Amino acid sequence: MVDIGGVRVEQDGPFTLIAGPCVIESRDAVLRHAERIAAITERVGVPYIFKSSYDKANRTSVDSFRGPGLEAGLEILAEVRERFGVPVITDVHERQDVTAVAEAVDVLQIPAFLCRQTDLVLAACGSGKPVNIKKGQFLSPAEAVPMVHKAHSTGNTQVMVTERGYAFGYQNLVVDYRSLVLLRETGAPVLFDATHSVQLPGGAGEATAGQPRFIPHLARAAVAVGVAGVFMEVHEDPSHALSDGSNSLALDQIPALLGDLKALDTLVKGTA
């Protein structure tokens, strides 16, 4: 079990939602998204952690929007936590940023492309804060087990691992649902990223494309397998999102989908 600001993320407990816009586009946009999603999750009865990134360091093009940066971004994320009373998670890309990020948010997230960066993983876990490691799309479930053991070697047991699809040929990802079962053997709560799993990496040339119509289907399948949480990038207007809009879930689709996921989760885990 991982305790995140009073939200208990555990394999056999009710699933937790991690959701928000991919990148901090502005203070107002982040606060608007956080307020709306928090209200929806409270109404549906799903534990919630807000997610957004202060810097997207692995954009396809050098011209792509990356976010406000470390200092301004962390101020905004800290405001979300204070104003809405929800835990906050964000990506950390550089070892030297770990201390500042750990002071501002509740969970540090290791991006998928960096999941095997030993110094970054050890520094994040050494902060004492909970850590979510996104499984690289280049790793099989078996290859992902050592990265969790690496994290646990710091003595930090507050570690989660997130499945987000596996590279399958050019500009395509597939989800092997056996991974959700195999990753449980690490002892870490397993989450499923329903939005990055529908990416078509580099599918738009100098940007990532996606197939968002599959998000609800993949999310329902993951909850049916039994996951500790679902991760989704959400935007009020995906067509105008500054990052990953092509694989984001439209905000107005959340209530119906969460209702489905909660019913499935209760059926699978018997947590009613």
Measured distance CA(55)–CA(109) in Å, rounded: 12
| Residue 148 buriedness (CB in 10 A; 0-12 / 13-18 / 19+) | buried
- Picking from 165, 169, 195, 167, the residue whose alpha carbon sits closest to that of residue 180 is 165
For residue 220, give the amino acid letter.
R
C-alpha span between 219 and 211 (Å, rounded): 13
Checking if the pLDDT of 259 tops 80, the result is yes
Enumerate helices (H) and strands (E) in the chain, giving the number of each.
Answer: 8, 15
d(CA 110, CA 90) in angstroms, rounded, equals 9
State the pairing for strand pair 16-20/229-235: parallel
Burial of 69 from C-beta contacts in 10 A (0-12 / 13-18 / 19+):
exposed
Indicate the average pLDDT of the chain: 95
Return the C-alpha torsion angle 151, 231, 69, 113, nearest 10.
50
pLDDT at 202 over 90: no
Residue 100: is its pLDDT beyond 80? Answer: yes
- Token pair for 30: 């982040």
Instruction: Say if residue 272's pLDDT is above 70.
Output: no
Mean pLDDT, rounded, for 188-203: 93
- Decide if 2 contacts 186 (C-beta within 8 A): no
pLDDT higher than threshold 80 for residue 245: yes
Domains present along the chain, CATH in parentheses: 2-269 (3.20.20.70)
- Report helix, strand or coil for 20: strand
Q: Model confidence over 9-64: pLDDT tens digits?
A: 999 999 999 999 999 999 999 999 999 999 999 999 999 999 999 998 877 788 78
- Is the per-residue pLDDT at 206 higher than 80? no
Q: How many CB atoms lie within 10 A of CB 79?
A: 16
Q: How far apart are CA 271 and CA 10, in angstroms?
A: 12
